[in-house]
């Protein structure tokens, strides 16, 4: 009898205590890495057209705000900032979906983080699970920029993953919203 009760208690602890705890700590660590990476990327310089030299090499780490122009093949997207276009190779990259914040109806609060709450939580989705995006989607990219034939291509590097954030709202508030909203 004691053996059966201890077995039931062990199974209950495993399924109601240990496994959920591991999942919770794993999720928190994932968002910590995201916040740490977005802070790093926020210090990268913005890419300029003059940075796109006609050599096949790594140019450096840059950040870029743009709108989706097109999806190329299975793993590439083209982004335009109104001045020039860059490509982002999204093979094996997680895409972060940053929600907009609720707007105050009566006093028209605009993304004042201390007074508004997000419509939903931020999400992380592997690029392979995203099947389509509308043209004009706002995208923030940060990481290693390569030059190939005079065009810039953001690519993932082993120790410096490419950061890609699809967002809604003002680009000036992305950093605050990512830190505040990432659980």
Number of domains in the chain: 1
Residue 164 to residue 68: CA distance in whole angstroms:
12
Residue 56 to residue 175: CA distance in whole angstroms:
31
78: buried, middle or exposed (CB in 10 Å: 19+, 13-18, 0-12)? middle
pLDDT reported for residue 34: 81
The CATH number that applies at residue 152 is 2.40.50
User: Model-level pTM greater than 0.85?
Assistant: no
| Domain presence at residue 7 | no
Higher-confidence residue of 15 and 23: namely 15
| Domain presence at residue 17 | no
The mean pLDDT value of the chain amounts to 81
| Domain presence at residue 14 | no
| Domain presence at residue 38 | no
pLDDT band at 126 (very low <50, low <70, confident <90, very high): very high
Domain range enclosing 147? 49-181
Residue 106 to residue 7: CA distance in whole angstroms:
58
Residue 149 to residue 106: CA distance in whole angstroms:
52
| Domain presence at residue 25 | no
| Domain presence at residue 64 | yes
């Amino acid at each position: 009898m004691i053996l059966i009760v201890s077995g039931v208690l062990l199974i209950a602890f495993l399924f109601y205590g240990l496994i959920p705890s591991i999942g919770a700590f794993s999720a928190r660590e994932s968002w910590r890495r995201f916040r740490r990476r977005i802070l790093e990327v926020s210090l990268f310089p913005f890419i300029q057209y003059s940075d796109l030299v006609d050599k096949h090499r790594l140019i450096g780490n840059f950040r870029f705000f743009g709108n989706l122009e097109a999806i190329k093949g299975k793993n590439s997207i083209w982004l335009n900032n109104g001045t020039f276009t860059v490509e982002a190779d999204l093979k094996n990259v997680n895409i972060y979906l940053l929600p907009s914040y609720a707007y105050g109806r009566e006093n028209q609060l605009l993304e004042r983080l201390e007074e508004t709450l997000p419509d939903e939580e931020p999400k992380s989705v592997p690029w392979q699970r995203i099947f389509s995006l509308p043209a004009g989607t706002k995208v923030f990219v940060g990481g290693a920029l390569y030059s190939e034939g005079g065009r810039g291509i953001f690519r993932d590097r082993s120790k410096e993953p490419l950061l890609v954030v699809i967002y809604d709202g003002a680009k000036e508030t992305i950093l605050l919203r990512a830190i505040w909203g990432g659980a």
